[in-house]
Chains A and B, each alone.
Chain A
Amino acid sequence: MGINGFLVQVLATNRVFNPSQSNLLLRMEKICGSLLYELQIIWDEIGESDAERDRMLLELEQECLEIYRRKVDQANRCRAQLKQAIADAEAELAAICSAMGELPVHIRQSDPNPESLKDELRAILPQIEEMRKRRIDRKNQFIEVLDEIRNIENEIYRSDGFASNDPAIDEADLSIKSLKNCAENCRHSKRKVRAFYDYCSHWQLQDVATSLLELWNLMDTPIEEQQIFQKVTCKLAASEDEITEPDMLSVDYIDYVKAEVSRLEELKASKMKELVLKKKAELEVICRKTHLISDKDSAMETAIDAIESGAVDAACLLEQIELRIARVKEEALSRKEILEKVEKWMAACEEESWLEEYNRDDNRYNAGRGAHLALKRAEKARALVNKLPAMVDTLASKVLAWENEEGIEFTYDGVRLLSMLESYTVLRQQKEIERKRQRDQKKLQGQLLAEQEALYGSKPSPVKNQNVKKDSRLSCGGASKRKLSLGAPILQTPKRDMLPSAKATPNTRKAKTNVRINQDRLKDDGLSALSSGRRVSDKAGLPMKQQSPILVKAREPESPMLRRPFTPISTTNLSKPNASNISEDLNKKHNEMLHKAVIINNTPFTPPPKIISSADEENRTPQTTAITLPSTPSTVSVPMQTAITPAPLIQTAIIPALSVEDEIEYSFEERRADLCCLDHNQ
């Protein structure tokens, strides 16, 4: 095929090209034809052989084809490049969109008829540009926020160096969400800073408010002045977010309050002397209350005087006094228990002396106004007086223990307490001796009278009788006079001393009244062992006389041997002659034993077995014989020893439940537990 054939084929594909392109191709065809024609002519002239002509035409064809192929390849490459460009662009767009977390504004529409590649590229490029621009903007926003955070944190953490690098930005996440997070962090940091400043201001405020309160307290500032700053001081306990008043945490306001504090401090300095004196007075009051002598420190006195001259630092002095006050308060605390006991002891001594007075009063049994009250008081006083020796002993041992522990003497208003107790004890002993002497004398006199009666009949001579009567009356109510005549000091005369002498002259009205009252008493409280004992032996299983439980305070030792006024008389005593003498003897014995018992009680633990007097025993004899305490088990059923309100008639009242040393009772387990604790402590 020749060139012409080739051209014909080209022309056949003309429809692909547009008219201008077709024209070009036609022109090319024409030129090609003319050139080929020229070639024919040249060859004819040359006289080229056909083979040579074919060869050259083939060459020509090949070369033309080569050129066409090259052009096609070029176009192909161009197309590939375009496609790549588009793909790249799309990838970049996708990356940016994912990083930013959003789609481009112009959303690509998927065309059923795909546009040409160049169109595609044309379409995508502006989108990319847009997103790139947005990314840069976003990044800038991040940088802004992160810079701010870094600055704030530098401020908070006081890092002096500025970071040379830009704050780290995560390129992969530039989404709004991330930006919002950063912004939130930033705000958080800001809040931290603000809170920190607020805290500082608040702390200052609190500090200043505390100073205010201290100064007010120290100087007794009037309420009106305090009111001005009330809103500050009342917020002392509030936290920062509770302070809602505007500007309270502002610097100005704080300065204002600070100014007030400094004003007060100046005032304080000027009032120092006053304050020091006030504190000194406080110290003295505390000392007085705890019966300590505040050591007159002459040095302090001169120091106080020197305050005004400015030679002495008042604040320092004040501190010294404060320290002393604190020390004295501590001491007061350790002295408290003993002081309380001293109060009780003194109260008991007062009652003791009141009782002495009372006993000396002739008219105390007259039913005058308040006589019954006095009677009650006397009864209580007697009980108290009985406890006195024990009280004193306990107190003395406690004081000794305290002195040993503290290493100093326990003083009471300047006097050593132990010496006070000692002198009291000595005095009491002296009184006791005197009392005994009195009793001995009376006994002697009683015996004399009895002898007289026996010798001379029941009525002694009128003169003697009168004397006797006088004497007896004196002895009843006026023992004090006798005592005075003896020149002995005024002693306490317990009532028990009275009655024996009263019995010796049974005709005196006093004795009669006593007996009558006693009998009434017998009926009333039914505490007599006799009546209860008797009734018990009659029937088993009695109703308890007392329906309502009786609250028992410290039980007195009641002994039928010791016949105290208004206590039941047991038959044993009445049946015996010279009851008075025996009573007196036993009275003495009882006192001794009581004292002994009291001494025994001061041991830490008291044995439970209690001794019950024989009088009680007597009442129970009927039952006692019935009960066997067998060593071999017996099957004999035995009636219970029931009783109405049991009157424990206990001689030496060694009661584990109520040991005299404490007024608090303890069970065995409690004491044992204490021991265990002691063991552990050791």
Chain B
Amino acid sequence: MTAAPPPSTGRELSNPPTDGISNLRFSNHSDHLLVSSWDKSVRLYDASANALRGEFMHGGAVLDCCFHDDSSGFSASADHTVRRLVFNYNREDILGRHDAPVRCIEYSYATGQVITGSWDKTLKCWDPRGASAQERSLVGTYAQPERVYSMSLVGNRLVVATAGRHVNVYDLRNMSQPEQRRESSLKYQTRCVRCYPNGTGYALSSVEGRVAMEFFDLSEAGQSKKYAFKCHRKSEAGRDIVYPVNAIAFHPIYGTFATGGCDGYVNVWDGNNKKRLYQYAKYPTSVAALSFSRDGRLLAVASSYTYEEGDKPHEPDAIFVRSVNEVEVKPKPKMLPNPAT
């Protein structure tokens, strides 16, 4: 084995999708990586072995995917379908449909339900157990103020970000109405929303190079902790060029988080101490998605042009899997003790 140092961007996976990557996710049980793409496929990779383990073709671009357990997953497609994918048997079936492309999908271990958000301005909850009949799998439909752009789950909480900068927070045990109806603190279109692993709040990113750190606790004390910061910007000739922040991923152990932007960079931040911990080497094109492995030792980066400047020639879409060093993600507490947190 030649001791060639791994490239600074991480190891590139072979057989990447042939068109843009919409999302990628590590499994909770292994180093399997599920990737959804605009080439209408969902691919399952073994990230450590750099091998393609499965491929599912859909009727339209696949906008999101998630794992159920290590043997099955779900996908959300622009052909309006929500599908269940069984990896070992390479079988898939349609769990249900929306009236417009399905943008987000999550599986809740707490309720055992699949939750999807769509551009038809609804959320739908599905029960994937038992009967495959579509009519019986739909548990409920919940109207949203606008098209759903991003979603995140933690414990029993679901955060939904829509067009028009609306944010709805739901308690999965009572979906009849949102627990909180909020508006993004940022002035521009929401790009991505991710809940903190400790369940106290969520991070929300916009197209204007900014991330807001929000908290569920609506009391004075709770809301006093919230703030926003600028990121993924470039200074040039005395002016700032600002890039959309497409992806946020939280480290499962340290609670620090990485952001990926259209500037091609991945930054790692310490939200509590309000510091940037690390910046990885620039990727060939926009970072479309990020995911940490279950033990936080690997970071998958989707380097894939996200059409922020329309249809134009761009670098080929690629997936990089890099090892994560502790120093890059471990928080560094402040020198001076902070009385209030």
Q: Identify the A interface with B (CB < 8 A).
A: 540-544, 546-547, 549-552, 555, 604-605, 607-614, 616-617, 624, 629-635, 637-643, 646, 648, 655-657, 665-673, 675-676
Contacts and interface: CB of A to CB of B under 8 A. Distances in A.
Interface in B186-219: 186-189, 191, 207-208, 210
Given A639-B274, A671-B310, A676-B78, A544 B226 contact: yes
| Of A608, A614, A616, most B-chain CB atoms within 10 Å | A608
Contacts of B282: 631
Contacts of A638: 275-276
Q: Which 8 A-B pairs have the closest CB atoms?
A: A605-B310, A657-B189, A549-B183, A640-B229, A609-B241, A641-B230, A637-B275, A672-B307
B64 to A, nearest CB: 10
A637 B165 CA distance: 31
Contacts of B164: 665
Contacts of A633: 8, 278-281, 328
Interface of B: 8, 20, 22, 38, 60-61, 63, 78, 101, 103, 119, 147, 149, 163-165, 182-189, 191, 207-208, 210, 223-224, 226-231, 234-235, 238-244, 262, 269-270, 273-282, 306-311, 327-328, 332
A547 B223 contact: yes
A608 B275 CA distance: 25
B266 to A, nearest CB: 10
Secondary structure at the A interface, as helix, strand, loop or mixed, is loop
A656 B306 CA distance: 13
Contacts of A544: 185, 226-228
Contacts of B147: 667, 670
A642 B228 contact: yes
A610 B241 contact: yes
A668 B227 contact: no
A656 B183 contact: no
A635 B309 contact: no
A617 B210 contact: no
Nearest to B149: A667
A540 B274 contact: yes
Contacts of B244: 608, 656, 668
B274 A657 contact: no
B228 A614 contact: no
Given A605-B309, A642-B229, A612 B78 contact: no
Contacts of A632: 281
Given A669-B307, A673-B78, A676-B38, 14 more contacts: A608-B242, A609-B243, A610-B242, A616-B240, A617-B238, A640-B274, A640-B275, A640-B276, A642-B230, A667-B149, A668-B307, A669-B103, A672-B61, A673-B101
Contacts of A641: 229-231
Contacts of B210: 646
29 contacts: A541-B227, A549-B182, A549-B183, A549-B184, A549-B185, A607-B308, A609-B243, A610-B240, A617-B238, A631-B282, A633-B279, A633-B280, A633-B328, A635-B328, A637-B273, A638-B276, A639-B275, A640-B274, A641-B230, A646-B187, A646-B230, A648-B188, A655-B188, A665-B164, A668-B308, A670-B147, A671-B307, A672-B20, A675-B307
Contacts of B63: 669
Nearest to B271: A640
A630 B279 contact: yes
B185 to A, nearest CB: 6
Given A543-B224, A617-B239, A638-B275, A667 B189 contact: yes
Contacts of A635: 277-278, 327-328
Given A549-B184, A675-B311, A656 B207 contact: yes
A60 to B, nearest CB: 107
A224 B282 CA distance: 82
A556 B185 CA distance: 18
B206 to A, nearest CB: 8
Contacts of A614: 238-239
A552 B275 contact: no
B227 A542 contact: yes
B207 A657 contact: yes
A624 B242 contact: no
A637 B276 contact: yes
B187 A643 contact: no
B327 A607 contact: no
B155 to A, nearest CB: 24
A180 to B, nearest CB: 43
